Amino acid sequence: MVALKKASDAPGLDLTAETPVPEMGPDDVLIRIVKAGICGTDRHIYEWDAWSRRRIKIGTTIGHEFVGVIAAVGADVQTVQVGQRVSGEGHIGCNRCEACRTGMAHVCDNVRIIGIDRDGTFAGYMSLPERNVWPIHASIPDNYAAIMDPLGNAVHTVMAANVSGRTVLVSGVGIIGLMAVPVARAAGASRVIAVDVNAARLDLARRLGADECLSAREEDWPERVKKLTDGRGVHVVLEMSGAQPAIRGSLEAMRNGGTMAVLGLPSGDVSLDLARHLIFKGATFLGINGRRMFETWYQMESLLLSGRVNLDPIITHVIPLKDYRRGFELMQAGEAIKVILEIG
Amino acid sequence: MVALKKASDAPGLDLTAETPVPEMGPDDVLIRIVKAGICGTDRHIYEWDAWSRRRIKIGTTIGHEFVGVIAAVGADVQTVQVGQRVSGEGHIGCNRCEACRTGMAHVCDNVRIIGIDRDGTFAGYMSLPERNVWPIHASIPDNYAAIMDPLGNAVHTVMAANVSGRTVLVSGVGIIGLMAVPVARAAGASRVIAVDVNAARLDLARRLGADECLSAREEDWPERVKKLTDGRGVHVVLEMSGAQPAIRGSLEAMRNGGTMAVLGLPSGDVSLDLARHLIFKGATFLGINGRRMFETWYQMESLLLSGRVNLDPIITHVIPLKDYRRGFELMQAGEAIKVILEIG
Amino acid sequence: MVALKKASDAPGLDLTAETPVPEMGPDDVLIRIVKAGICGTDRHIYEWDAWSRRRIKIGTTIGHEFVGVIAAVGADVQTVQVGQRVSGEGHIGCNRCEACRTGMAHVCDNVRIIGIDRDGTFAGYMSLPERNVWPIHASIPDNYAAIMDPLGNAVHTVMAANVSGRTVLVSGVGIIGLMAVPVARAAGASRVIAVDVNAARLDLARRLGADECLSAREEDWPERVKKLTDGRGVHVVLEMSGAQPAIRGSLEAMRNGGTMAVLGLPSGDVSLDLARHLIFKGATFLGINGRRMFETWYQMESLLLSGRVNLDPIITHVIPLKDYRRGFELMQAGEAIKVILEIG
Amino acid sequence: MVALKKASDAPGLDLTAETPVPEMGPDDVLIRIVKAGICGTDRHIYEWDAWSRRRIKIGTTIGHEFVGVIAAVGADVQTVQVGQRVSGEGHIGCNRCEACRTGMAHVCDNVRIIGIDRDGTFAGYMSLPERNVWPIHASIPDNYAAIMDPLGNAVHTVMAANVSGRTVLVSGVGIIGLMAVPVARAAGASRVIAVDVNAARLDLARRLGADECLSAREEDWPERVKKLTDGRGVHVVLEMSGAQPAIRGSLEAMRNGGTMAVLGLPSGDVSLDLARHLIFKGATFLGINGRRMFETWYQMESLLLSGRVNLDPIITHVIPLKDYRRGFELMQAGEAIKVILEIG
């Protein structure tokens, strides 16, 4: 089968057509991949940055977003069938630690992630444990199903922060921040404010439903957020940037008693004024990782079926797998938001 | 001043023009009433039913929904001023019990309610403690401000039940049930289903945003709710009917692990199958009373300013105070939903 | 092997020595049963009451409390080994419904229970899915491990109700109510009050740490509870009786804003004054079923290892399996609290 | 009257006997101070550090912990009487902001603190708004009542973190960390581990009920915490140190999905690895400020009346006001834990 791999200790990826179809255990499902989104993480691996070099074993097939069709099932599989259209949770918990046994598998101590710790979705086929498979409702189109992994990040963040009837600041409108805008609206936010350094992204945020969009290049943006919210600041910050100035500015723009849900990964340590921004504010910081299994998936389905979450403006390119280099180049050039690869 | 009172131990009310303007203490505010909504409770007092005869002292000015303008303030009042447009919380807590001192004044042990335990809003002026006054934002029209009391009941119920991303059944679309429909949508419900015996009310519920409307006259309606929700039932029931069959049917239509928020007052004891509907379901029942002070009021303001809660179809009649009898008759005939009296 | 079965459509049980050892699937574990507690449910089956006749298939081996040792494991079992001392969760979820997939398997739509829907623990061996097995910490004695099923009911109820720093009424001190007394204390209740009709049980509750014990035979007991709690009533009721008068009395004895966690199964419908006891109180009712998988099991282990939960006074009899009739008779006579059968 | 003031822009304090008794408004209460604890904040003011020089106005009477007796009440005071023994909440909210109006006055935007922003408790008399007064239960001794302010910090932290049935690390056993040890035990923690650099403090923590005490001078202490907790780390960290190494070590010692409640004020910015310690852990950080009004006070009363919180080992010195210098010197020398001044 075809597979896009990190074949050597160097930038770039290799597309091969001679990879064997993955083996399956009795509890696994073999999925023929139809479409797969490119994630920022994939770009890090493509560019072969310090994190990738530490984490990725040479020879790994990358990619972790996908929609596909079940091609075969292991001997003990009971809940899904050949021919079903599916996506799936790429965090594979160990199923035995306290986190896995208490509905918290998204923070499993021993998690393995497809496309990072084991072969992923930029391939003709992928094997996945039955318990990680998510059947796709007939009303959800392939292009949405192919990006449920990052959509799930956005939904997990929004739902953890409890936005219903509250004002929300989305700090950083990269792909997940952009998704968080319509998700927060659909989930009941009374007002959504976006902040970013990138004007084009802010325009897109506005089209996706942000009530106000502020440039992080203007230093007084936290004051402007406060002015837009009775002088007190937002109830909720969804931190999607990972950038220290954005985090500090957002905390300045958050009212006392507020909640900051943090998904954006900083590249190093972050210096915080805990007295001012956490303690005296009586604030709550929530670390958000992956998606809740499978509460987030049910919430995604529910939100998508409600018709209130339009992701079309985000999906800017759908291209064949063989053109993957162009996909990464479009991302690097800032011309693409979400690129989906057509595979099978 | 003018006042509409329960003047004698008999059905009906009396409109007098010679009532003295209320006295104020140093912490009180005198409000000139501009508009006041008629509540179902006022109708009970008008009809002089068993509950009213037990509870209402002859001579009481009734009414508890209102918008007005501050006409005078007591010596120690600091936070509001003469001329401000205001509504207010009609549940006056004792300010000294544990409930009042822990942000739970809506369940104060010694609560006194305007228009029931003390003189109310169907009058030229009303006195209210400063701490119960709620300034009205300039963007909120008088007709909405005049009904923030029942809107607050709806908002309190919806917010307590946590509807974000979840399916919601509104059981009973009287005035508060109707309000709960757009409120639940604005607060993030993924799907709103309404059930009632009254077809006209269901039509109105649909106009207000209900995704599905079911007649409680068809016995299998709980099964139909389940069919609309993957066979499992809704996540949340907002019980607004107070009727035993509706409560039992709603519990049948609620999925395991679901939440029923109960606002509708039954007229007597209700017989429940606790094993089936509470215990084996792992369900949560929430008793909802009044509005949270003042969290619910901030939420109302936030929802109204978001522009996502349209109450216009609910406000069917705005009539002068002197025509109050017609107001009650329209309600009795089922021709009116919400009647607002023009006073000052 | 030996097995205690409901062998015919009549009261009583049959002890046979010729039952074949259960078959195992690839994901199952075969457990040699060492000790097994007798539950009130077993007594219902022994007495062959209406519920049992509807629910139990003739031929079923009963019993669902146990400690044992793993005798064999299926081909795909990975997390446990032959020779491990274990107990296990007797509610076997379907592993595919929304409840099972969101950490709520205790309210699985399709749950099957050992000793009720399939063969149970009063036998030489029992088969159980690997995911339901709970390894027993070396410091926990067999007699405690043998009753983790009912202890888990008590812990689930206490933890759901959030007793930390709050006053607690245990309504009904049958076996699970008795367990709830030391559990509530260990979990941080500031004061534990027990109420029951049975004076001997109340004495035992006192020995287990109840601060106050009241007879439900004295009609004014709810008033006495209020007097013991500043006149306002308890914060939390743990309803273990299933009896309508106790439920209504407990709600009378609960303060506004309080929480009632309901585990006790009423034998029929219960008539409640929802207006007075749920709505005006702003109360919360929580239906409690089984044990959370496996949050409750971790909590149990934690509580037992803390040394603060003494169950010895509850375990009144440990007898050989062959004397099972005496066990049931001791329960019927009210002479036993918890009877444990020695099997292997 | 007597008063201990910051009389000049220099280290030290001045004890004067000629200060006029404070004036009262109609909603205020005049309290004759009986005993008053010295807080670490008072020591900062005594030493006249950078923070104090910015914050304290010359002429302010300091002190904010106290027990006293009501000597006079303003014209509009209704809930308390002359002669009552009382303590009180020293954070005086504005009573008009959203925080104050929603039960969150502990994070009021405009809070003023006694002994810092206005005259405090090291004086013969102090004026306090009626709503901030807390009557002391007859069973609570003066020495405990005199330190309910810091005890409330400990109780607020413990209760916010939800310790029931969970393992708890107290990071830093200064006075509030020490108080947190017995409070966490009484509130239901299954195991309490304390860590500090000071061996004498750790000994005291052990006497107060800590199950394990670790020296922060041994670099691998986070690993040792993990070993004590099944290799996974504690569920809850109570951060009382304000020290960056302790914060980072505690986060290392906290399990995935854990909660860190942060009360200890760092003296400057803190550098955190948010990816490792917040995001991938799926952790929650809670900023804790002051005491919840008055939920924390009810919880304190409840805990103290339960008899399970012994603070005697913490109260090391009770001395006359005139010996205040010795009090501060004992604190500076590390010989005192809590010093209480006898005033009236």
Pair (D135, D41) in one structural domain = yes
Note whether D57 and D99 are same-domain residues: yes
pLDDT tens digit sequence for C53-99: 999 999 999 999 999 999 999 999 999 999 999 999 999 999 989 99
- Distance (Å, rounded) from C-alpha A39 to C-alpha A331? 10
Asked if A78's CB is within 8 angstroms of C76's CB, the reply is: no
In one letter, which amino acid is A260? Answer: M
Give every CB contact of residue A170 below 8 A, 6+ residues apart in sequence: A177, A180, A181, A184, A192, A193, A194, A195, A205, A210, A238, A240
Q: Would you state the structure tokens that stand for residue C195, as one six-digit string?
A: 């109420």
Place D266 in a pLDDT band, splitting at 50, 70 and 90.
very high
**Tally of CB atoms within 10 A around D315:** 18
Q: Are B239 and B246 in contact (CB under 8 A)?
A: yes
Beta bridge partners of D196: D215
Three-state secondary-structure class, residue C151: helix
Q: What is the mean pLDDT of residues B290-306?
A: 97
Record: contact C257-B104, CB cut-off 8 A:
yes
Question: Residues of B64-91 as b/e, b for ≥16 C-beta within 10 angstroms?
Answer: bbbbbebbebbebbebbeeebbbbbbbb
Pairwise CA distance, residues C312 & C309, whole Å: 9
- Residue D239 has a pLDDT of 98
Distance from CA of D236 to the nearest CA of C (A): 14
- Known catalytic residues of C are 41, 44
What contacts A195, CB < 8 A, 6 or more positions away?
A169, A170, A171, A172, A173, A213, A214, A215, A216, A221, A225, A246, A249, A250
Q: What is the CATH number of the domain that holds D250?
A: 3.40.50.720
pLDDT tens, residue by residue, A60-91: 999 999 999 999 999 999 999 999 999 999 99
Q: pLDDT confidence of B140, banded at 50, 70, 90?
A: very high
Out of C96, C102, C131, whose CB is closest to A298?
C102
Active site (catalytic) residues of A = 41, 44
Strand partners, A123: A3
Q: How does residue D113 score in pLDDT terms, banded at 50, 70 and 90?
A: very high
B274 and C CB contact within 8 Å:
yes
Q: How far apart are CA C154 and CA C150, in angstroms?
A: 6
Rounded-to-integer distance, Cα B309 and Cα B182, Å: 6
- Residue C111 has a pLDDT of 96
Does any domain span residue C162?
yes
pLDDT tens for A138-191 read 999 999 999 999 999 999 999 999 999 999 999 999 999 999 999 999 999 999
Question: Which residues of chain D make contact with A255, given a CB cutoff of 8 A?
Answer: 98
> How far does B207 lie from chain D, in Å, by closest CA?
33
**pLDDT (mean) for D152-172:** 98
Give dist(CA B102, CA B112) in Å, integer: 18
Alpha-carbon gap, residue D152 to D294, rounded angstroms: 10
Q: Are residues B7 and B143 in the same domain?
A: yes
Instruction: Say whether residue B131 is in contact with chain D using an 8 A CB cutoff.
Output: yes
Is position C36 within any domain? yes
In a domain, residue A303? The reply is no
Residue recorded with tokens 């008794």: D21
Looking at chain B, which subunits does it touch, using at least 3 CB pairs closer than 8 Å as the criterion? A, C, D
Q: Are strands B315-320 and B338-342 parallel, antiparallel or unpaired?
A: parallel
Long-range contacts of D139-144 (CB under 8 A, 24+ apart): D139/D304, D139/D305, D140/D301, D140/D304, D140/D305, D142/D34, D142/D35, D142/D67, D143/D35, D143/D311, D143/D315, D143/D318, D143/D340, D144/D304, D144/D311
The residue among C255, C272, C287 that closes a domain is: C287
Q: What share of chain C is helix, strand, coil (3-state, %, to 5)?
A: 35, 25, 40
**CATH number of the domain within which A60 lies:** 3.90.180.10
D1 band by pLDDT with thresholds 50, 70 and 90: very high
pLDDT tens-digit readout, B212-271: 999 999 999 999 999 999 999 999 999 999 999 999 999 999 999 999 999 999 999 999
Beta-carbon separation of A279 and D256 below 8 A: no
Question: What is the reported pTM?
Answer: 0.98
pLDDT attached to residue B253: 98
* Residues of chain B found within 8 Å of residue C283, distances taken between Cβ atoms: 286-287
Q: Which residue of C has its CA nearest to D306?
A: C190
> Is C98 in the same domain as C115?
yes
> Which of D278, D284, D295, D296 should we substitute to test contact with A (largest number of A Cβ atoms within 10 Å)?
D278
Q: For residues D128 and D166, state if they share a domain.
A: no
CB of C194 closer than 8 Å to CB of C205? yes
pLDDT at C291: 98
Query: Predicted confidence band at D34 (pLDDT cuts at 50, 70, 90)?
Result: very high
* Domain presence at residue C303: no
Q: What's the token pair of residue C212?
A: 């106050």
Asked if A77 contacts A136 with a C-beta cutoff of 8 angstroms, the reply is no
Closest chain D C-alpha to B106 CA, distance in angstroms: 12
Q: If residue D28 lies in a helix (H) or strand (E), which one and from where to where?
A: strand D28-37
- Catalytic residue numbers of B, as ranges: 41, 44
In this prediction, residue B36 carries a pLDDT of 98
- Please check whether residues A211 and A249 belong to one and the same domain: yes
CA distance A226 to C189: 42
* A218 interfacial to chain C (CB closer than 8 Å): no
Q: Which residue is it, tokens 């958000």?
A: A288
Q: How confident is the model at residue D300 (pLDDT cuts 50, 70, 90)?
A: very high
Could you tell me whether strands A234-239 and D234-239 are parallel, antiparallel, or unpaired per DSSP bridges?
unpaired
Residue C274 dihedral angles phi and psi, to the nearest 5°? -60, -35
Average pLDDT of span C1-23: 97
Integer Cα distance of B193 and B205 in angstroms: 9
CB contact under 8 Å between A164 and B166, yes or no, is no
**D262 to chain A: which residues are within 8 Å by CB?**
274, 278-279
As a whole number, mean pLDDT of residues B7-28 equals: 96
Q: Whose CA is closest to D211, among D247, D163, D246? A: D163
Query: How is residue C297 written in tokens?
Result: 């099991």
Residue D167 DSSP SS3: strand
Q: In this prediction, what percent of chain D has a pLDDT beyond 90?
A: 99
D298 is written with which tokens?
């009810």
From chain D, the residues in CB contact with B75 under 8 A are: 26
Q: Which chain A residues contact residue B163 at CB under 8 A?
A: 164, 188
How far, CA to CA in Å, does A3 sit from each of A14, A21, A24, A38, A124?
8, 10, 17, 14, 6
Nearest CB among D159, D186, D190 relative to C303 is that of: D190
**CA torsion C206→C208→C209→C213, rounded to 10°?**
-30
Q: Please state the domain count of chain C.
A: 2
Q: What is the pLDDT of residues A221-233, one digit of tens each?
A: 999 999 999 999 9
Instruction: Determine the Cα–Cα distance for residues C270 and C272; give it in Å rounded to an integer.
Output: 6
Q: Which of A112, A254, A279, A291 to mutate to test the interface with D (most CBs of D within 10 A)?
A: A279
Quote the minimal CA–CA distance from A291 to chain B in Å: 15
pLDDT classification of A322: cutoffs 50, 70, 90: very high
C255 neighbourhood in chain B, CB within 8 Å:
98
Peptide bond before residue A294 is cis, with ω within 30 degrees of 0: yes
ipTM over 0.90: yes
For residues A121 and A212, state if they share a domain.
no
Measured CA to CA, the distance from residue C57 to residue C222 in angstroms comes to 42
Is B318 found in the same domain as B196? no
Instruction: List the chains bordering chain D where 3 or more Cβ pairs fall under 8 Å.
Output: A, B, C
Contacts of A284 (CB under 8 A, 6+ apart): A258, A259, A260, D284, D285, D286, D287
Binned at pLDDT 50, 70 and 90, residue C287 comes out as very high
pLDDT band at C250 (very low <50, low <70, confident <90, very high): very high
Q: Give me the residues paired with residue B262 across strands.
A: B239, B287
What is the arithmetic mean of pLDDT over B88-93? 98
pLDDT of D37 reads 98
B281 domain-assigned: yes
**D303 inside domain:** no
Residues D156 and D283 both lie in one domain: yes
Question: Looking at the structure, do residues D25 and D43 belong to the same domain, yes or no?
Answer: yes
CB contact under 8 A, D280 and A98: no
- For strands C112-113 and C125-129, give the pairing: unpaired
The answer to whether residues B297 and B89 touch, using CB atoms and an 8 Å cutoff, is yes
Peptide bond into B280 cis (omega under 30): no
pLDDT tens digit sequence for C130-181 = 999 999 999 999 999 999 999 999 999 999 999 999 999 999 999 999 999 9
DSSP sequence for C245-287: HHHHHHHHTEEEEEEEEE-S--SS-EEE-HIIIIITTT-EEEE
Query: Domain residues for C196?
Result: 152-287
Q: Judge if the upstream peptide bond of residue D280 is cis by omega within 30 degrees of 0.
A: no
Residue A173: CA atoms inside 13 Å, Cβ hemisphere, count? 32
Does residue C194 contact residue C203 with C-beta atoms inside 8 Å? no
Domain membership flag for residue B302: no
Nearest CA in chain B to C240: B279
Best of B277, B278, B279 to disrupt the C interface (most C CBs within 10 Å) is B279
Mean pLDDT of A257-273: 97
Shared domain for A59 and A99, answered yes or no, is: yes
Residue B269 lies in a domain: yes
Say yes or no: D140 and D156 in one domain. no
C83/D contact by beta carbon, under 8 A: no
Average pLDDT of chain D is: 97
